[in-house]
Structure 1
Amino acid sequence: MDTRVLKYFLTVATTNNITKAAQQLHITQPTLSRQIMDLERELGTSLFNRQRHHLQLTKAGALFQQRATTLLEIIDQTKNELHRPDEELTGTVNLGCVVSAASVFMMEAVADFQRQYPHVRFNIFDGDGDTLRRQLDEGRADLACLIEPVEAAKYNYLVLPTREQWGVITIKDNPLAKRATIDQTMLYKLPLIFPQRSIVRDEVSDVLRLDQTKLNIMASNNLPSNAMYLVKTGRYYAVAIKGIVDLYADDDLVFIPFAPKKETGHVVVWRRNTVLSPAAERFLQFVAAKTSTKK
């Protein structure tokens, strides 16, 4: 399968019409139809539902469209990196990062790195751990900064010097806002917004010895922004990390830590058995050096 066929497929998927796609690609309609049918035979599945002159992607076709787009982007990026002059570092680093205390550390690293290597560009993705790991697995991200725990057997990782404390976020006018800590008994009584990631839920529950079936979970979230609007109504309490309040710098929000104390670390991860681009490899080394000075 060559990249030319992938581009043919993506053009057909965009136009939903063989004739229009052939015109855009400057090839004949029979040639394009044959290329698409050969591709379907090679993959062993139908990529389009054919209805007269209109084509509609099948479920398999929609998935292949995502993969083909990603693959062509990676190929283009690799070509650019291979043709860089030897005397300067260029390329693109695809970096995922959770929204937490580590955000400041990582973005400072990006800024410092680009001062030294101004021809390197960054694609920065915000997301929760599941989203960022999926981007890694699909090859759309080179590196990802995640909150622990992570699947150590699946990824290489670098431990960062930033740690995060867990607790509850509420509004400052709430009577609970004056408390020094919040414990298991009180948590059972509150209408909660809880993290979606099951691995995080289990970690928090283990520390506080929570029975999750007794929690009043009104909503779940993967990123904090919309959840904070719910918190500010005064009717919800978000189980979250302190770094969210610090990053948003919203005077209406208050963080109350858990008792017993629950802390977690951060790691930068990348896929095992994967060769990083020169730019990504140099940035990883840069972050490692920055980490060593913080310890």
Structure 2
Amino acid sequence: MDTRHVEEFLVFAAELNYSTAAKRLFITRPTLSEHIRELEDELGCELVGKQQGKAMLTPAGKRFVQTGTHLIESVQAIIGEYRAIADNLLTVTIAQTNLPWLESILYKARRAVQEKHPGKQIEIVTASGPCSTTDALAEQQNDIVVAGCKSYVASPKRQMLAEGMQGFKVRTEEIKLLMTRGNPLFEASSINAADLDGATIMLPPDIYHGYLRDGVADRFAACGARIALQTMSFADHFEYFSYDFQEMFGIVPTTLVPRFGIDAREECRAFSLDDLPLETDFYAVYTDGFAASENGRLFVEEMQRIASEEQG
């Protein structure tokens, strides 16, 4: 039912004159008559009749004045409710693989926004699959992603953020190398970069290009190791960390070692190189559009404040 026709009928019911009602509604008299007929057809009864040549409401028409009034009031209340939700609801989508670095900050930020602005509602939802890259962010599969850059890369050379994106540093974290039983170095008590000469490091697809960009292979070469960087289409981090690397190596941020039980698995070993420590600076990244909205701005401000406090 077109509620505009109901509203027009209610104006006509108050005037009982097509011309006067049409003038109030800023429509033509024939248009008003047509709309009332359409309303009658939908209800299956006459709402308007004639008595002594003058328009009058039928019994059904008089009853519909009350019904229509309640209907319009209900519709207006619904519209008001959902307009308020639109102004106060923020849904933040983040890839599952990004959660370890962001989950604490996300939930703390949500609580802080809602404490300061009780009417605001923030929903945090996770997206499965390869949605943890800035490419996915640009394609609007995500609202916030985590992007990393090796700590040895000078600030002017950091090119993580494409046009239309911005972000802030969340934390710096040690990156460990990962191997599985059967690797010749599995039982070695200490390992240097040169011990990996000729080896391949298998990377998750979401960080492969970042390792190329940050010159990780060149860093190894400076320590006497020629390595190759390679990737496969792992569906997610669960598949990656269950992979048998054989004579290859993987990588694992320190946060993910206990999260994926790597420290408790006899067939896995996460280790650091004695002469080549690897650290990544992780950034929360989002689009200019996300930060420009009122709710997005409030949320980002709280995230930045919390991240700054946690970094000391």
TM-score by length of 2: 0.54
Q: Deviations over 1:23-79 (max 9, x none)?
A: xxxxxxxxxxxxxxxxxxxxxxxxxxxxxxxxxxxxxxxxxxxxxxxxxxxxxxxx9
Partner residue of 2:135?
134
Q: Percent identity?
A: 12
**How far did 1:209 drift?**
2.3
Could you tell me how far apart the structure 1 residues matched to 2:276 and 2:232 are?
Answer: 23
| Counterpart check, 1:106 vs 2:106 | no
Paired residues of 2:183 and 2:248 also in contact (CA < 8 A)? no
Partner residue of 2:239?
226
Partner residue of 2:218?
206
Partner residue of 1:156?
166
Partner residue of 1:243?
255
Partner residue of 2:276?
260
Paired residues of 2:182 and 2:247 also in contact (CA < 8 A)? no
Paired residues of 2:178 and 2:252 also in contact (CA < 8 A)? yes
SS of residue paired to 1:260: coil
Could you tell me how far apart the structure 2 residues matched to 1:177 and 1:236 are?
Answer: 11
**How far did 1:185 drift?**
2.6
Paired residues of 2:199 and 2:226 also in contact (CA < 8 A)? no
Could you tell me how far apart the structure 2 residues matched to 1:112 and 1:104 are?
Answer: 14
Partner residue of 2:303?
287
**How far did 1:290 drift?**
0.6
Could you tell me how far apart the structure 1 residues matched to 2:230 and 2:85 are?
Answer: 55
Could you tell me how far apart the structure 1 residues matched to 2:217 and 2:298 are?
Answer: 38
| Counterpart check, 1:91 vs 2:87 | no
Paired residues of 1:194 and 1:240 also in contact (CA < 8 A)? no
**How far did 1:267 drift?**
0.7
**How far did 1:235 drift?**
5.1
**How far did 1:169 drift?**
0.7
Q: Which amino acid aligns with 1:176?
A: L
Q: Deviations over 1:209-246 (max 9, x none)?
A: 279x9546675356432222223x75542134333323
Could you tell me how far apart the structure 2 residues matched to 1:192 and 1:81 are?
Answer: 54
- Segments of 5+ residues of structure 1 without an aligned counterpart are 1-78
| Distance verdict in 2 for CA 1:167–1:247, change over 3 Å | same
Partner residue of 1:121?
123
Question: Of the two, which has the highest radius of gyration?
Answer: 2
Q: Which amino acid aligns with 2:179?
A: T
Could you tell me how far apart the structure 1 residues matched to 2:135 and 2:230 are?
Answer: 26
| Distance verdict in 2 for CA 1:263–1:171, change over 3 Å | same
Could you tell me how far apart the structure 2 residues matched to 1:285 and 1:218 are?
Answer: 37
| Distance verdict in 2 for CA 1:236–1:133, change over 3 Å | same
Q: Which amino acid aligns with 2:166?
A: N
Could you tell me how far apart the structure 1 residues matched to 2:185 and 2:137 are?
Answer: 40
Could you tell me how far apart the structure 2 residues matched to 1:225 and 1:107 are?
Answer: 18
Tell me the number of residue pairs that the alignment of Structure 1 and Structure 2 aligns.
209
Could you tell me how far apart the structure 2 residues matched to 1:80 and 1:210 are?
Answer: 64
**How far did 1:96 drift?**
4.0
Partner residue of 1:144?
145
Could you tell me which of 286, 291, 306 is aligned with 1:270?
A: 286
**How far did 1:192 drift?**
4.0
Q: Deviations over 1:64-118 (max 9, x none)?
A: xxxxxxxxxxxxxxx99982269x942312234644xxx3442122333444538
Could you tell me how far apart the structure 2 residues matched to 1:229 and 1:163 are?
Answer: 25
Could you tell me how far apart the structure 1 residues matched to 2:227 and 2:241 are?
Answer: 19
**How far did 1:144 drift?**
1.8
